Structure 1
Amino acid sequence: MTAQGTAAATNETATNYAGGSSHVGVQAGVVHGDVNVYETPAGASPAEMFEIGARLLAGGMPGKARELIGKAVMEGGLTGNRVCFHWQLALVSGRTRHEMSQEHLTMLRHAPTACNVTGGDAWADGVRTLCRLLDSAQRHDEDLRPLLKDLDELADPQRSMILRHVQLFLEGPLEDDMWRRALDSAKRERMANARADRVWKFFEPRPVGPRVREPRPPDITTGTWAQALVSTAVLTAASLHIAYLLARELQAVAILAYLVSIGAGYCAARGGVDWRFRAERRREKDERLAPWRRTRNAPSGGFADDVDRSFRHYFARYVPRDTPRSVWLAETAGIRRCLRDEIVELYREQRIGVERISWLIRYRVGDVRKRWENGTLWDYRRELSTPPATKLLTLGGLALFFPAVVRMLASAMEIDPLSVIRSTAFALPAGVIASRAWLRILLERRRHAADHAEVSRIRKDCESAYRRWKAKLADKPDDSEMAAWLDCDRKMLLDEALRHYRLSMSSLIAHAFIETPARPGRSARVRSGPWRHERYKLLLFLLTTDGVRQVNAELDFTQGTLHDRDRTNYRYEAVTAVRVRQTDDDEHDFKLSLVNGEEIHIPAMAPEAERLQDEPSGVVSEVTRDAANLRHTLHVMEGIAAEGKRWIIRERQRAEQTAADH
């Protein structure tokens, strides 16, 4: 991540700084809690422990793998060719011969017998070749050609697993031959299985399904229905009484006016309701989507703030073609506000991170951009504009209704004035009340129907987008693939350093890596698995007879490319101290101080900020250190800091003593 300009002085005589070896900070990430490949269930059988151990070994965590496989073999009595092969690899992976305890060396030597290796399948062939390979590592005068021929004839995955895991354990000429084969394999496999097209998917969280705001039910009270029904009954009774008077006296013209008033009233009411609905709905949408409306600021650091920042990010990113960014952002401010409020309302109570609905935010923003580009973003204004025919129907109906009512009432007054006045006195207020009540009922029902149609369309589109996104993530790489690709990247950097310094593998006393996340980039892991990062900062230490060669590089893990190399050389006497600070949260902090005052300060792993509630404390830190082979790195660097060049002599003596004992 970002470099820190200075570091605190460790004593009064030297000023230490991180410089090019930057201080890497903390970066939270995604935890795939639904992927469980490393967690050992309570009461697991020996076979289950072995399978989990095999997955841990494939994921680059040999420490935990040898613990589980060893327990399955030594305590559970599990045997078999495949079991023996994985156990042997777990015992040697990630450490040199003299880093192994006497107990583990004994286990390694007796593994074929303990596991009852029999038959001639591919796993048995792998065990035999591996045993010969490990025995030949200390016999520098042995003809290696038959052994290497057998190795080359091994099938995969046995051959590739041997090349990946035994490198540190080997010595002498055999080490160079194995390194060349391991490097060739890394060159072939580093971009295999469509890595560049799939790595980014590992950092995508499991998406949450789409939710849309359900339409508000029609707001029609019992009182409104009572007003509508009672007033309609009164109006109908009064109208029928007037019709009876006209029919009794056979007033043909008045009856015709009566019928015209009914038809004209119906047309005016029908057109008026549609006109009113369109006008109110358009006004409501205009007000809701108005860019000038004030936006409430979400509380900082909360879910609403995360959603707000995500919408701002994608609206700023998805700018339509041939549109200035400022115009786009200004004109869509109201839409952005409405979409944000809807997402916050729908997902706030679900206790999920915004990253799990980022796909939905992207889709909604992309849909706005698409409608902007094809000119349909503001189509509701055209769709809700009142057609001239509706206006003509309404105004024409009113123009006929009132004269017809006047003509009808005039004729009725000539027949029975008192009765007509009484009926009219009831009909007029009843008509007003009925009109208002039925208008509210009809508008609410139409509003609900329109909302339902709009929500159904949005839900259908979002569900289609959700299915497309899930299908896109279907070939997400598993953790073992990520580990294998990272191992290839480490080998590429090691090869680059060896070629630059013109060194061979056998000429190295030791080599060690430290890896940390780098910005910008995301991080993710599976349950109980190590953190994986989109970008890494790799530090490689080469220990030679002349001193330490340090190579720093940034790795774009998605593309498998190395950038920003930085090389530093120093003698063993120049290393004044190596400090490893371990916190109560099991986080390790690495500092290497040189005699000139320079300090290399690197947190060796990201803290466990994203630990799941049911994960034991420290488990993620442990497997992340295991995957980074931090134990071997600290063994090498602490030895150099404590003993300097004498450490080399002592290491060689320890190696010779180990060989003599076995």
Structure 2
Amino acid sequence: MNGAETSNTAESGSYVGVQAGQVHNSHIYVVGPDDPPEHDYEVGRRYLAGGVPSKAREHLEKAYARGFDRPELHFHRALAILSKRSHRDLTHEERAVLEDLSAVTASTGRNTWERGLDTVFALLSCVDGSGGDVEAAMAALKALPTAQRDLILRHLDLVLSGGMKQSVWHQVRENAEKERFSNGRLDRVWSYFEAEPAGARAGSPQPPSTGRQDLFIGLPLAVATLVPVVVMARLSLAQESLVALLACLGLPVLLPAAGWYVTAWHHRHRRRRALERAYGYGWSPSPPPKGGFADQVERKFDHYFAKYAPDPLTRNAWLDRTRGVRRALRDEVVRVYRESGIGADRVTWLIRFLVRDVRRRLQEGQPVEPHEVHRVDPAVMARCTVLCLAAATAMAAVAAIAFQQAPFSTAACLVLTAVTARFSVPLWLKIHSERRRFTEESQEHSATKAAREAEYHRWKSKLNSLRPEEKEMEAWLNADKTLILAETLKSHRLAWREVVAHAFLPTPKRPCESAHVSKGPWRYSRYEVRVFLVTGEGVREATVVLDFLRSRWRVTSRKNYRFDALSSVHVEIASTRRYTLNITLNNGPSESIVVSEAPNLDAPPDEELQSDAPDINLETAGFSHTLRVLEGIAAEGKPWFGRAGDPHSGDSPGASTAA
């Protein structure tokens, strides 16, 4: 959000090429040592809703081990084992756990969670070779309450066979259509990728450059300047003339009054010259180093000043007029945030606020340019000129009359006054101006800091109220994937009964924005989604670019190849943060797909200790199942599907994943 009048910072067609990812501090996945087992269960449910079933199972099993034994726990334990996996992907240990869980269904009580668990095992019996009744299982599924039925449809997506999927596909697609734009997605999803705003700061005023030593020097100089004037006044009064009397009476009034207006004029002049230097007037500052913090801040100021131009037709004139204030604001932001390790994205809220403030001031006719901000009132200039002339006239009259009385003494007084005034007047003007500047800048700093803090709290509150939860982000992504799958099936003219297996592989599409909550999976503003449909005759592959912020996608390629055309599949692990899947066809070049690559960022300490972060990202992408399907096709072709589905065969379902 850019201001009170807007609701979305996402701009059409604009993406950041090399943007560091955002990390949102969150405790939704944190369990304290003194928390009850119910909290482990809740965290497990959140992980499952967020698309990380392995972490969900870890917390659910921990809750069970600590004495939390309820039907809803066992229901979610079963879903955590089966989510994002087909039945052939299960290890012997996981099959044994499911067998133990099936004993829970023997309970005499039959609440909705137990009925849901019954249905899960009824569906499993239709695909594990135990000869379950498909029609009865599907009838039980359709009879479940919406909450349990939707969870089963979502997490057993890869477990259901083609024929079973066909019978519920209309419901799955309808759920995806409802979920796609639910909970105000288009107005909220952008906030997930917004950086945590840095606290409000404002440049502190520099202390006065004059101190006690200047007073120690200035006082004797002032005395040395005024004493000769007093001496000349006494000499002139000795003449006992009316002119001398008037001149001597006028000096104590005219000199302080003229001095007051001179100091005011001089102070305004100094402030204007300082602001001109801050604006870069009169010199050509060198551009900041490319890619650094100052360069990023400057680019953001240029972007938002162009975006917030009062009239697009006069944008160039607006940019020319605000070049100086833009440079001054950039320098201030860089100065107050540079040494704190804060990225430019975290001060974007402040940059937008400053740009809007400049626009508001100009629209309201408030001063912005140095000669406007520190303008000297013509009335002040006129009074200053008149008083200075009057004081000079009175001084000249006093000196002329005193010269007649004592020429040598008067000449000496004039010389002494001129010499000491040469040093004392500039010094006292500087002392006065510096003290006044510090007072004014302190007041400006307080007002500026208060305004920025108010904007910071407004922006942070808005982000907190709009930022989607993990379960919402995962639900929206699942809805998009389901509708992409529906479009792929339609384009290939396939029915579910013709599909032996299917797999998704969503990967980030650079350039894009990225973010994640602490201990959660990375999310991206753009994805490249690959859909693999395995039929009895071969593989259909579609590649789709998904704009996650707007829930729009476009198909970029379609491929069809026989089982024997897939030559090899292997994973290249360049580091703990980058996984690349290489697919080679017999009749074409190999294709390299970066499956998981966390953005570069200065992670907080708790992120550095999260060694399982790559595994979480791979699991969220459904990588294990996709890799297993592709490896099975590359190794054995069509016979693999029949053998891999046999739970009693020698094929270890976990071997391919471990590779």
User: TM-score, structure 2 length as denominator?
Assistant: 0.86
Tell me which moved more, 644-653 or 509-518. Answer: 644-653
Matches of 2:108 and 2:441, distance apart in 1: 72
Q: Secondary structure at the match of 1:492?
A: helix
1:587 paired to 2:578: yes
Deviation at 1:339, TM superposition (A): 2.3
Q: Match of 1:96, as an amino acid? A: S
Q: Secondary structure at the match of 2:66?
A: coil
CA contact (8 A) 2:119 2:141 kept: no
1:509 paired to 2:500: yes
Q: Secondary structure at the match of 1:509?
A: strand
Tell me which moved more, 119-128 or 88-97. Answer: 119-128
Matches of 1:111 and 1:489, distance apart in 2: 32
CA contact (8 A) 1:133 1:147 kept: no
Structure 1 residues 358-377: aligned runs within 5 Å = 358-372=348-362, 376=366
What's the counterpart of residue 219 of structure 1?
A: 209
CA distance 1:117–1:50, shift in 2 (3 Å): farther
1:201 paired to 2:191: yes
What's the counterpart of residue 13 of structure 1?
A: none
Structure 1 residues 402-481: aligned runs within 5 Å = 402-411=392-401, 429-474=419-464, 475-481=466-472
Matches of 2:212 and 2:221, distance apart in 1: 14
Q: Secondary structure at the match of 1:206?
A: coil
Matches of 2:180 and 2:397, distance apart in 1: 94
Q: Secondary structure at the match of 1:110?
A: helix
Matches of 2:576 and 2:245, distance apart in 1: 93
Q: Secondary structure at the match of 1:294?
A: coil
Matches of 2:185 and 2:401, distance apart in 1: 91
Tell me which moved more, 373-382 or 413-422. Answer: 413-422
The superposition leaves residues 370-412 of structure 1 with CA deviations (integer Å, 9 ceiling, x where unpaired) of 4455554645423533333222222222222233234334555
What's the counterpart of residue 19 of structure 1?
A: none
What's the counterpart of residue 627 of structure 1?
A: 620
Q: Match of 2:636, as an amino acid? A: E
CA contact (8 A) 2:162 2:500 kept: no
What's the counterpart of residue 522 of structure 2?
A: 531
What's the counterpart of residue 348 of structure 1?
A: 338
Deviation at 1:276, TM superposition (A): 2.0
Aligned equivalent of 2:156, options 163, 166, 170: 166
Deviation at 1:495, TM superposition (A): 1.2
CA contact (8 A) 1:291 1:332 kept: no
What's the counterpart of residue 31 of structure 1?
A: 22
CA contact (8 A) 1:572 1:645 kept: yes
1:86 paired to 2:79: no
1:638 paired to 2:649: no
Q: Match of 1:585, as an amino acid? A: T
The superposition leaves residues 388-441 of structure 1 with CA deviations (integer Å, 9 ceiling, x where unpaired) of 322222222222223323433455567777876776666555555443332122
CA contact (8 A) 1:80 1:117 kept: no
What's the counterpart of residue 64 of structure 1?
A: 55
Q: Match of 1:598, as an amino acid? A: P
What's the counterpart of residue 492 of structure 1?
A: 483
Matches of 2:106 and 2:321, distance apart in 1: 75
Structure 1 residues 197-276: aligned runs within 5 Å = 197-234=187-224, 253-276=243-266
What's the counterpart of residue 285 of structure 1?
A: 275
CA contact (8 A) 1:234 1:427 kept: yes
Tell me, which stretches of 5 or more residues in structure 2 are unaligned? Answer: 1-15, 652-659
Q: Match of 1:483, as an amino acid? A: E
What's the counterpart of residue 562 of structure 1?
A: 553
CA distance 1:71–1:280, shift in 2 (3 Å): closer
What's the counterpart of residue 10 of structure 1?
A: none
Q: Secondary structure at the match of 1:32?
A: strand
What's the counterpart of residue 143 of structure 2?
A: 150
Q: Secondary structure at the match of 1:637?
A: helix
Q: Secondary structure at the match of 1:621?
A: helix
CA contact (8 A) 2:105 2:117 kept: no
Tell me which moved more, 62-71 or 342-351. Answer: 62-71
Deviation at 1:217, TM superposition (A): 1.6
Tell me which moved more, 635-644 or 309-318. Answer: 309-318
Tell me, which stretches of 5 or more residues in structure 1 are unaligned? Answer: 1-24
Aligned equivalent of 2:66, options 76, 89, 92: 76
Structure 1 residues 387-398: aligned runs within 5 Å = 387-398=377-388
Q: Secondary structure at the match of 1:176?
A: helix
Q: Secondary structure at the match of 2:549?
A: coil
Q: Secondary structure at the match of 1:468?
A: helix
Q: Secondary structure at the match of 1:341?
A: helix
Tell me which moved more, 111-120 or 586-595. Answer: 111-120
Matches of 2:134 and 2:381, distance apart in 1: 104
Q: Secondary structure at the match of 1:569?
A: strand
Q: Secondary structure at the match of 1:280?
A: helix
What's the counterpart of residue 13 of structure 2?
A: none
Q: Secondary structure at the match of 1:90?
A: helix
What's the counterpart of residue 543 of structure 2?
A: 552
Q: Match of 1:486, as an amino acid? A: L
Q: Secondary structure at the match of 1:568?
A: strand
CA contact (8 A) 2:19 2:512 kept: no
CA distance 1:588–1:416, shift in 2 (3 Å): closer
Alpha-carbon RMSD across the aligned residues, in angstroms, is 3.3
Deviation at 1:463, TM superposition (A): 2.6
Over the matched positions of the two proteins, sequence identity in percent amounts to 33
Deviation at 1:106, TM superposition (A): 2.7
1:295 paired to 2:285: yes
Q: Match of 2:626, as an amino acid? A: T
The number of equivalent residue pairs is 630
Q: Secondary structure at the match of 1:542?
A: strand
1:55 paired to 2:46: yes
Q: Match of 1:288, as an amino acid? A: A
Matches of 1:656 and 1:144, distance apart in 2: 26
Q: Secondary structure at the match of 1:494?
A: helix
CA contact (8 A) 1:54 1:65 kept: yes
Q: Match of 2:580, as an amino acid? A: D
Tell me which moved more, 641-650 or 434-443. Answer: 434-443
Matches of 1:286 and 1:448, distance apart in 2: 18
Q: Match of 1:347, as an amino acid? A: Y
Matches of 1:586 and 1:392, distance apart in 2: 72
Matches of 2:17 and 2:532, distance apart in 1: 23
1:522 paired to 2:513: yes
Q: Match of 1:166, as an amino acid? A: L
Matches of 1:490 and 1:582, distance apart in 2: 26
Tell me which moved more, 339-348 or 649-658. Answer: 649-658
Deviation at 1:302, TM superposition (A): 2.9
Q: Match of 1:220, as an amino acid? A: T
What's the counterpart of residue 575 of structure 1?
A: 566
The superposition leaves residues 420-473 of structure 1 with CA deviations (integer Å, 9 ceiling, x where unpaired) of 677666655555544333212222123223333443443333333323322331
Q: Match of 2:346, as an amino acid? A: R
CA contact (8 A) 1:140 1:172 kept: no
Deviation at 1:525, TM superposition (A): 1.1
Q: Secondary structure at the match of 2:209?
A: coil
Deviation at 1:180, TM superposition (A): 2.7
CA distance 1:648–1:226, shift in 2 (3 Å): same
CA contact (8 A) 1:57 1:65 kept: yes
